[in-house]
Amino acid sequence: MPEIDSREFRNWGGHFATGVTVLTVQVGNTVRGMTANAFCSLSLHPPLILVCIQHGTSMHPMFEVTETFGVNILAADQQAFSALFAEHGEHAAPMGGVPYRIGSIGVPILDGVMGWAQCRIEARYAGGDHMIVVGRVEEMAVDRPDVDPLVFYAGRYRTVGEPL
Ligand SMILES: Cc1cc2nc3c(=O)[nH]c(=O)nc-3n(C[C@H](O)[C@H](O)[C@H](O)COP(=O)(O)O)c2cc1C
């Protein structure tokens, strides 16, 4: 078997269109968000989702200790949020200056996102160079049901087209 080239593998995976989320945590007095498209719903009973956190990211050590995290689903007009929360390193202002509130289970929820969920961590698994985090959804909402979602496909931001 020839070895899989990681750039080709990334390109191949990029042909699966996804939405874009910002994962948020609060650990002590520190709040942080990270852009992630490795998100999917996992189970209906119980209501589980999973996210994947790359080793070496600033979020990775926070996900090792936090018991809760937030999933913020971005709308098409929030490409700037995606870019901001994909930046390397610390932001000068908490949460990069994006307004947020702390939800009932201690999870930062960004203002103006299309939808959000507060999750409690059920399990963490090793997944190659990522940590797979399974979260149980404890509260969720779609605050902007009528806007188009931000889509990431083939390395570019897009939005959805007409229904087929
Ligand atoms: C569209 C998009 C999707 C991303 N998805 C993920 C992901 O699912 N998991 C992950 O660990 N990093 C993902 N990243 C990369 C992180 O956002 C990025 O590595 C991190 O914010 C860099 O900050 P740090 O170096 O300070 O950790 C994604 C980036 C973009 C632009």
**Total structural domains within the chain:** 1
Is residue 11 included in any domain, yes or no?
A: no
Instruction: Provide the CATH number for the domain around residue 31.
Output: 2.30.110.10
Distance of CA 58 from the midpoint of ligand 1 (Å): 10
List the residue whose alpha carbon is closest to atom 17 of ligand 1. Answer: 86
List the residue whose alpha carbon is closest to atom 6 of ligand 1. Answer: 36
Q: Which residue segment(s) compose the domain that 63 sits in?
A: 23-72+102-142
For residue 42, what are its two tokens?
A: 């996992």
Distance of CA 35 from the midpoint of ligand 1 (Å): 5
Find the angle CA(119)-CA(79)-CA(129) to the nearest 5 degrees: 55
Is residue 80 included in any domain, yes or no?
A: no
Is residue 45 included in any domain, yes or no?
A: yes
Is residue 41 included in any domain, yes or no?
A: yes
- Measure the CA–CA gap between 29 and 40, rounded to whole angstroms: 28
List the residue whose alpha carbon is closest to atom 27 of ligand 1. Answer: 57
Query: What pLDDT, on a 0 to 100 scale, did the predictor assign at position 93?
Result: 93
Query: What pLDDT, on a 0 to 100 scale, did the predictor assign at position 26?
Result: 97
Q: What is the pLDDT of residues 103-162, one digit of tens each?
A: 999 999 999 999 999 999 999 999 999 999 999 999 999 999 999 999 999 999 999 988
Query: What pLDDT, on a 0 to 100 scale, did the predictor assign at position 2?
Result: 84
Atom of ligand 1 nearest to the CA of 83: 31
Q: What is the pLDDT of residues 52-111, one digit of tens each?
A: 999 999 999 999 999 999 999 999 999 999 999 999 998 989 999 999 999 999 999 999
Q: How confident is the model at residue 1 (pLDDT cuts 50, 70, 90)?
A: confident
